[in-house]
Amino acid sequence: MQEVEKTGYTADVNQFLTFTLGAEEYGIEILKVQEIKGYSAITHIPNAPPHVKGVMNLRGTVVPVVDLRTKFSMDAVEYTKFTVIIVVMVGDKIAGLVVDAVSDVLNIASSDVRPAPDLGARCDTRFISGVVSIGDKLAVLLDIDKLLTEEEVATAA
Amino acid sequence: MAKTVLIVDDSVSIRQVVGFTLKQAGFTVLDASNGQEALGKLSGQRVDLIVTDLNMPVMDGITLIKNVRSQPATRGVPVLMLTTESQDTKKQEGKAAGATGWIVKPFHPEKLLQVIARVLP
Amino acid sequence: MQVDLNNFRETFFQEAAEHLAEMEAGLLRLDQGSFDAELLNAIFRDAHSVKGASGMFGLDDVSGFTHALESLLDRLRSGEIRVTQKLTDLLLQATDLLRELLAAAESGAPAPERMAGVLQELYVAQRSPASTSGASPRIRKSDREPAPSGKTAYQVRFRPSAEIFSQGMDPLLILRDLARLGEAVTTEVDVQGLPALASMDPEQCYLAWNVRLETSNTVGEIRDIFAFVEDNAEIRVDAEELKTSTTAAPSAANMAPAAPRDASIRVATSKVDKLVDLVGELVIAQSMAREIVHNFSSARLAELQEAIAQMERHTRELQERVMSVRMLPIGHIFGRFPRLVRDISAQLSKNVRLELAGEETELDKGVVEQMGDPLTHLIRNAIDHGIETAEERVEKGKPEQGLIRLEAYHQAGSVIVELSDDGRGLDSERIRRKALERGLIAEADAFTDAQMYNLIFSPGFSTAEQVSDLSGRGVGMDVVRRNVESLNGSLSVTTQPGRGTKVRIQLPLTLAILDGLSVRVGRETYLLPLVSISESIRPRREQVKTLVGRGEAVMVRGEALPLIRLHGLFGIPTEVIDPCRGLTVIVEHAGRSFALLVDELLGQQQVVIKSLEAHYRKVEGVLGATILGDGRAALILDVAGLAQIARHPAGGGLAA
């Protein structure tokens, strides 16, 4: 019986939004998700890290857009009108995450979450809060706070 | 029918607080920031009570009271002065000029209503 | 009935601040030596107003302190005590303390400790040889005495003054109030005073009343009823039993908890009315447009265009007017400077006079508020380093008193603030030496004097021999420049050695909107602040040079302007690499010009500045973002930042 890794959840069952990147399935806490939108024009920002594709207009507010494929060193794909942007809120900062598609909203019990195995350079385990089996697939649960507060989202000037 | 009170004070915050209190109590409220303005308001309409500060620019309270008492239309209108204790001589002056009564600053708005009740039928 | 005073506290604090500012201004004028009865009266009235109003809101510390201040001012204005330097100093101190008291009252913090000391001094000062010691601070008076139990019968006699009617009082109201206290068992009117009808004056009162009153109230409470009509009246209250109770119960102070202060603005009602009108017109124009769209046919295209144009006009006007709501006269912060100059001059033993001009010049409230610190520092600097000592000045043949002049005016959509002094001016040699020392420039660099003077705004720079505590207090000239630039403004300095120095600050009228030039680089659109742009040219082949060790430059009227390739700086793929095929926009910052290479100019537009830092972070070279008409976000570039990045070799290079 493996110890459940500390995940920082406060309840026993949490809701997650799951989405796909390539063949992989990922999930983030639904509480951090503000909305899901279709692709909109992204304006390039000079000298930004490669996974920060730029900024977009979210109803009058300018928010950064992070490409998770790039972040996880996957091959880039062309953005189409089916590309989805998940708008998340970390603290009082908003950011958009470009993903291939959104899958589902699932209730996941903390007891079902296992610690992350070593996925190699692909997905830095710093951002992973655990993995969980969904049917016959394995979904990687992301710690969105850690993922974004690195350099993407504003740090102290 | 609602009674009309004219508040005269150069302090906006006092006019606001007093005005609010009076309106809540069902009075119609007019205001002016000095004696001169007050006379202007009085010439326009019938007022049932005047509440006035004494220290104001342009025309002070005492002069206003004298004016009010000298005009037939307003001669009998009750006038309450807003005074402070350090102004005892002012208060006497005011009374001599024809003020009906006074209320000492600082006062709780509800106290104002009590005093007003004494001079209005 | 509860009266909620919270809403009005805001107004009170604003008003009090205004009164304090007036008081201070008045005291400063007094300081110049004139005993002016009217001036003293005005100062007294300000203190009096604050006292009265603060009492209304239960701010006892404030009203108690102001009372002492008022008493002293009262004696001054009546001539009982003479105005002396010491006294004005004390009064100014007291005004400062009062400001602190108000701030503490607003935030719910405790009163500053030195209040007791200053209070004491105020009382001591009130004692003139002839008078007795000053009045003690007023605490709330008791309104009530505890009522005795049991009813008592009183015989009350009331003969009002004959003049009672001409005081607007009706004696029957007194009887009514009397009756409310208990039970008026018998009331009889005494008509003995009535004269014959022919000699009766209808406006005189000839009647008296005798009332037998049964009540549990005290004699004091009964007599209270007559408080307004005591003068020249006969009032007797005789009881069969008399109880004496004199303990005073302080009435409850209605202390509203300090509400968090929202920043607020006072706006003229007329401005608001006009806005309401405009919004109405906009709504009408909009519904017209909607109607055309619903029932559209190509024949109506022109109509639709006109309707949209109308909406544009209304929106533009609305925008301007809403902006103007935020406008404050710069005099708002100028007001504190006379005092500042007085204090600093005294501290530094300099004799300096301050002249203000253009106080009515309006700019955005946010900008005004943030200009306080930079201007304060510049003034400090001018007095400290600019103005010479009185002896030095006399030696040089200058008037003994130094002059600092602060002027504000509008110029072509910006606000200009100029601070000039008639002191010793800047020494470009000294600056050059210092800059070399600090490694800010290289030996071989050739700078114009203008560029040299602007170096004083570089970080880590200071030409003062001793960094006096005042000016060197961690606020350098570079911070001043950064503050100004963070407001999208710019700063420059000119000087005449030996004659004086002038610092010129250019500020936008508003923080939120920017006049920009949109340019295209590759597929990206950027905005450049119009205020930074001098001109744009398509250089001829011979104008573009590469200078050894210095990178590319464009020759404009004999001057070599460093060329910055935006596509290179930002890593944007574009076909326009040849400067002669694209456009170079000549921009200026801190007295130096650069040439920015872009693909093409798209046009001028006014844009709303959106923060990039709110959700991302500060990006060097970028001032903010905006949303274009097509919904895309576009970056607004910051010339100072661009110049900075361009210095790095990686950025497409230029030195100095």
Domains of chain C, by residue range, sit at: 6-139, 147-241, 269-325, 329-508, 513-651
Closest CA to A123 of A26, A19, A53: A26
pLDDT of res. C460: 67
> Distance, in angstroms, between C319 CA and closest chain B CA?
30
Cα gap C429→C152, rounded to integer Å: 97
The interface residues of chain A toward chain C in range 93-112, judged by CB-CB distance below 8 A, are: 93-95
> How buried is residue C521: exposed, middle or buried, by Cβ count under 10 Å (0-12/13-18/19+)?
buried
Find chain A residues with C-beta within 8 A of C524's C-beta.
Answer: 43-44
The amino acid that residue A63 corresponds to is: V
Q: What is the DSSP letter of A109?
A: E
> B110, C1 in Cβ contact below 8 A?
yes
> pLDDT exceeding 90 applies to what percent of chain C?
14
Distance of CA C207 to the CA centre of its chain: 60
pLDDT at position C285 over 50? yes
Instruction: Please give the helix or strand (H or E) that residue C486 lies within, else none.
Output: helix C477-486
- Check B17 against C56: CB less than 8 A apart: yes
CA separation for the pair C505, C493 (Å, rounded): 9
Q: Flag whether pLDDT at C248 surpasses 50.
A: no
Q: Which residues of C touch A56 (CB under 8 A)?
A: 633
Rounded Cα distance, C187 and C212, in Å: 7
Q: Above 50 in pLDDT, residue B4?
A: yes
CB contact under 8 A, A64 and C622: no
Phi, psi of C186 (to 5 degrees): -135, 145
Using CA atoms, how far apart are residues C341 and C473, in angstroms rounded to an integer? Answer: 17
Q: What is the pLDDT of residues B31-79, one digit of tens each?
A: 999 999 999 999 878 899 999 998 888 898 999 999 999 888 888 899 9
Distance, CA of C642 to CA of A46 (rounded, Å) = 11
Q: For B119, how many CA atoms within 13 A lie in the half-sphere containing its CB? A: 28
Lowest-pLDDT choice from B36-40, B96-100, C99-103, C214-218: C214-218
Task: Name the catalytic one among C70, C145, C388, C552.
Answer: C70
- Contact flag C8-B16 (C-beta cutoff 8 Å): yes
Can you read off the two tokens belonging to residue C71?
Answer: 């008493």
Q: Which residues of C593-604 are buried (b: 16+ CB within 10 A; e: fewer)?
A: bbbbbbbeeeee
Question: Would you say C345 and C352 are in contact if contact means Cβ atoms under 8 Å apart?
Answer: yes
> Options 3.40.50, 1.10.260, 3.90.1720, 3.30.70; which CATH number does C147-241 get?
3.30.70
Question: Two tokens at C365?
Answer: 């409230």
Structure tokens at C446: 């050739």
Domain count for chain A? 1
CATH class for the region spanning C513-651:
mainly beta
Instruction: Evaluate if residue C510 carries a pLDDT over 80.
Output: no
Domain-embedded: residue A75:
yes
Closest chain B residue by Cα to residue C174? B118
Residue A40 structural domain? 13-148
CB contact under 8 A, C173 and B120: yes
State which residue of chain A sits closest to C631, comparing Cα positions: A57
Is C381 labeled as catalytic in the residue annotation? yes
Whether residues C570 and A157 touch (CB distance < 8 A) is answered with no
Enter the tokens of residue C604: 């001028």
Domains of chain B: which residue ranges? 4-119
Q: Give the rounded percent of residues in chain C with a pLDDT score beyond 70.
A: 86
In this predicted structure, the answer to whether residue C85 has a pLDDT above a threshold of 80 is no
* Each residue's pLDDT tens digit, A97-147: 999 988 888 888 888 888 877 655 455 677 888 899 888 888 999 988 888
CA distance C351 to C400: 7
Q: Active-site residue among C15, C48, C281, C303?
A: C48
Asked whether residue A156 carries a pLDDT value surpassing 60, the answer given is no
Q: pLDDT (tens digit, 9 = 90+) per residue, C320-342?
A: 788 778 777 888 888 888 888 98
Is residue C152 over pLDDT 70? yes
Contact assignment for A57 to C627 by CB distance below 8 Å? yes
The mean pLDDT value for B82-99 works out to 81
In chain A, what residues touch C648 (CB-CB under 8 Å)?
none
> Is-contact C251 C144, C-beta < 8 A?
yes
* Alpha carbon of B21: minimum distance to chain C alpha carbons (Å): 7
C571, C610, C617: residue with CB nearest A62:
C610
Peptide bond into B106 cis (omega under 30): yes
Q: Which helix (H) or strand (E) holds C523?
A: none
Average pLDDT over residues C570-595: 87
CATH topology of domain B4-119: Rossmann fold (3.40.50)
- CATH number for position A107: 2.40.50.180
E strands in C95-248: 142-144, 152-159, 183-190, 208-215, 234-239
Name the DSSP letter for residue C325. Answer: H
Residue A1 inside a domain? The answer is no
| Strand order from edge to edge, sheet including B101-104 | B28-32, B4-8, B49-53, B79-83, B101-104
Is C33 buried (19+), middle (13-18) or exposed (0-12) by CB count in 10 A? exposed
Of 1.10.1060.10, 2.160.10.10, 2.60.110.10, 1.20.120.160, the CATH number of C6-139 is 1.20.120.160
> Which sign does the torsion angle of CA C455, C461, C467, C468 carry?
positive
Task: Report d(CA B38, CA B10) in Å as an integer.
Answer: 11
Fold (CATH) for C329-508: Heat Shock Protein 90 (3.30.565)
Residues of A in contact with C610 (CB under 8 A): 60-62
Contact C423, C388 (CB under 8 A): yes
d(CA C252, CA C131): 34
The answer to pTM > 0.90 is no
At A85 the pLDDT is 92
User: Which residues on adjacent β-strands are paired with residue C559?
Assistant: C556
- Optimal mutation site among A37, A43, A149, interface C, most CBs of chain C within 10 A: A43
On the CB side of C191, CA atoms within 13 Å amount to 4
Under the phi-then-psi rule, with left for phi > 0, alpha for psi from -120 to 50, and beta for the rest, what region is C611?
beta
As a whole number of angstroms, the distance between CA C447 and CA C453 comes to 10
Is the pLDDT score of C269 beyond 80? Answer: no
